[in-house]
Amino acid sequence: MPKDKKLSISIVNFQSEDFIEDCLASVFDKAANLDCEVIIVNNDEKEDLMEIKKRFSEIKIVDHKKNVGFGAGHNLGAKETRGEFILFLNPDVELTDNISPIIKLLENNENIGIVGPQLLTDSGEIQAWSVGRETNIWELIKNNLGFSPSKKLWKSTQQKEVHWVSGAALFIRKSLWEKLGGFDEKFFMFFEDEDLCKRARKNGSQVIYFPEVRARHACGKSTKDKKLQKEWFYKSQDYYFRKHFSKKTVNIIKLARKLFSKNRKHV
């Protein structure tokens, strides 16, 4: 598909009709000076988004009507994009700053492939685990012992090269996305963003945390079943370690998970 736009924004809808309107309003406000397009992949068979389309006539809806997961949904949306850059955006995220500085950063630095803004909670606090160091077994153990080296990264006010940024608001070069083959669809939910960033770095691209631009993220609004959410998390975590490390590492993690769960912690 020809790249005749500067930026394409891909949003995956699932149980998000009640708050996607605020997301879109922020997009058309904070990206108003950019030549951009918005694609919404509707993964929800019970929501038709026609009322949203009436208010935001510019958007394109890919009416998939089946919950295929976060990464697979965005892959469907990205295939429809015509932008030089793509912003993968959660429907429960509202842009609070103009995003032009991130686009300029990408335009002026060919080595940068992925950029993530600073994410804030509804209460205005910096969202934990919105950016971080590479996840490995030692990082997991440190996290469960209460001291995470990644905390310095998400608390930083300076632009930094990092290992990964959150898929809740992730900017990527379309050419890099195509080279990487998009998100790994074996991740239904969780870890697909870290996997994408890891593959981007292996490809020679930098991943940058850019806290000068902020967005508000009301985490988990579309997934109300916390038990199911935890199951997805652990399944994706196991697949991530099996893919990038070894089956033996996965077995160690599962054992550590049981040990920490006895102390009401989790790996």
- Taking the C-alpha atoms of residue 202 and residue 206, their distance in angstroms, rounded to an integer, is 9
Please tell me the predicted confidence (pLDDT) of residue 264: 43
pLDDT higher at 150 or 184: 184
Residue 260: pLDDT band with limits 50, 70, 90:
low
The band of 65, judged by pLDDT with boundaries at 50, 70 and 90, is confident
DSSP letters along the chain, please?
Answer: ----EEEEEEEEESS-TTTHHHHHHHHHHHTTTS-EEEEEEE--TT---HHHHHH-TT-EEEE--S---HHHHHHHHHTT--EEEEEEE-TTEEE-S--HHHHHHHHH-TTEEEEEEEEE-TTSPBPTTSEESPP-HHHHHHHHTT--TTHHHHT--S-EE-SEE-TTEEEEEHHHHHHHTSS-TT-SSSSHHHHHHHHHHHTT-EEEEEEEEEEEE-TTTT---HHHHHHHHHHHHHHHHHHHT-HHHHHHHHHHHHHHHHTT---
Please tell me which of 8-12, 243-247, 259-263 the model is most confident about, judged by mean pLDDT. 8-12
Least reliable range by pLDDT among 39-53, 96-110, 134-148: 134-148
Please say if the pLDDT value at position 180 is more than 60. Answer: yes
Cα–Cα dist 104/139, whole Å: 33
Confidence (pLDDT) at 258:
77
> Which of residues 101 and 16 earns the better pLDDT score?
101
* pLDDT value for 146: 72
Q: Answer whether residue 105 shows pLDDT above 60.
A: yes
Segments making up each domain of the chain, as ranges? 5-221
- In CATH terms, the superfamily for domain 5-221 is Spore Coat Polysaccharide Biosynthesis Protein SpsA; Chain A (3.90.550.10)
For residue range 204-257, list pLDDT tens digits in order.
999 999 999 999 998 765 566 778 888 999 999 999 999 999 888 889 888 878
Whole-prediction pTM: 0.93
The answer on pLDDT for 153 being more than 80 is yes
